[in-house]
Amino acid sequence: MLIINRYKCGYCGACVGACPATALELVETWLEVDESCVGCGICTKICPLGALELTEEGET
């Protein structure tokens, strides 16, 4: 599952442009992820601030 740390996120939209599953959406300063996320980890890797993290299913 993708965890978004909105205290860190700088709402730049880079992850949105790189997500191959169109799972991310930036609503002004609020980043959202939906169920189409396939857990590829691309967004976590490129995030300039390290605001994204993948956890095992079930964990939070």
* Residue reference for tokens 């978004």: 4
Residue 43 CA to its chain's centroid (Å):
6
Which helix (DSSP H) or strand (DSSP E) does residue 33 occupy?
Answer: strand 30-33
Of 14, 11, 1, the closest CA to residue 45 belongs to 14
Q: Does 55 bind another protein (CB under 8 A)?
A: no
Which spans of this chain sit near ligand SF4 (rule: CB under 6 A)? 2, 9-15, 19, 21, 23-24, 26, 31, 33, 37-43, 47-49, 51-52
Nearer to ligand SF4, 11 or 55 (CB): 11
Which residues are at the interface with another protein (CB under 8 A)?
10-20, 22, 25-29, 42, 44-53
